[in-house]
Amino acid sequence: MQNPPRITANGNLGPVDAALVPRYAGPATYARLPRLDQVQHADVAVVGVPFDTGVSFRPGARFGANHVREASRLLRPYNPAQDASPFENLQVADAGDMAVNPFNINEAIESIQANALDLTAGGSKLLTLGGDHTIALPLLRAATERAGQPVALLHFDAHLDTWDSYFGAEYTHGTPFRRAVEEGILDTEAISHVGTRGPLYGKRDLEDDRRFGFGIVTSSDVFRQGVDEVVAKLRDRIGNRPLYISVDIDVLDPAHAPGTGTPEAGGMTSRELLEILRGLRGMNLVGADIVEVAPAYDHADITAVAASHVAYDLITLMGLS
């Protein structure tokens, strides 16, 4: 079908109308939204980065973006949890995938940054589907350049991702936020991990992390303190600074996200993650990513469904900031 019937509102071209075209039919753009070349301007561009050369354990996140797109077919235009219609408030479009060199990490990082700057040149915000967490570094570089100042960061992850290197490599999925601090692209008074847990290489990992300026909200903190208290602390730490949110899907417990490269027991539930994100309504969200979805390990598409909803709530937040 060349021109499927779409839901339109506020002059924005929205998803294919599921009352007229079955959800399983047609190309799998995110939430069945139009492609970027089908709209004059996008307030939010959803872009995939099929890159997982930086992983240290199980590969496969290069296939994550399309897996999330397929799972997003069931999303609907109205978000009752936030009392908002994100595709009415914003023109959202799927920008397809960046073409990234899978054999050269340094070149890949440069091209991701260049692509991100190109996609945001007209004022669009990016919601990026990974890919492994290496991609957060060039995305943060681009976000900082667009914001004109270092950005605040909320990093949802089982892991710190502030290690120095793996096998002598400076750029991997375990090092992006150390590099970001070293490059001065993060506002170190407003950066925090959320959902961390599991064994570390040593106590120095935590000492280094504190030295970089990171606050830590562990998955146990979320369980014991509750969502509302965690949200209040995060909002107080970030304030109205330009905020970038990076979500590694392994922040969720493997029961909620088995399809990922480095699973850790004792994680957050998908409900807790979504409720924390919803609690950030009104903050100055300038960009976001969801990474480390690996379809080969994702039985029953559990991980992709969770990731598609995380993306949906992040897009909703972009329309309410």
- Strands (E) located in the chain: 6-9, 12-16, 44-49, 92-97, 125-130, 151-156, 186-196, 215-218, 243-248, 285-291
- CA 119, 121, 122, 128 torsion-angle sign: positive
Q: How far apart are CA 237 and CA 127, in angstroms?
A: 23
SS3 string, 108-137, reads HHHHHHHHHHHHCCCCCEEEEEECCHHHHH
Q: How far apart are CA 132 and CA 247, in angstroms?
A: 11
Phi and psi at 240, nearest 5°, equal -105, 20
Question: For 181, left (φ over 0), alpha (ψ -120 to 50), or beta?
Answer: alpha
Please indicate if the annotation marks 41 as binding a ligand. no
Listed residue (269, 284, 273) closest to 235, CA to CA: 284
Q: How far apart are CA 126 and CA 111, in angstroms?
A: 15
Listed residue (158, 210, 160, 151) closest to 184, CA to CA: 151
Q: How far apart are CA 225 and CA 221, in angstroms?
A: 6
Please indicate if the annotation marks 159 as binding a ligand. yes
Please indicate if the annotation marks 250 as binding a ligand. yes
Please indicate if the annotation marks 118 as binding a ligand. no
Please indicate if the annotation marks 209 as binding a ligand. no
Please indicate if the annotation marks 309 as binding a ligand. no
> From the annotation, which residues make up the binding site?
133, 157, 159, 161, 248, 250
> From the annotation, which residues make up the binding site for Mn(2+)?
133, 157, 159, 161, 248, 250
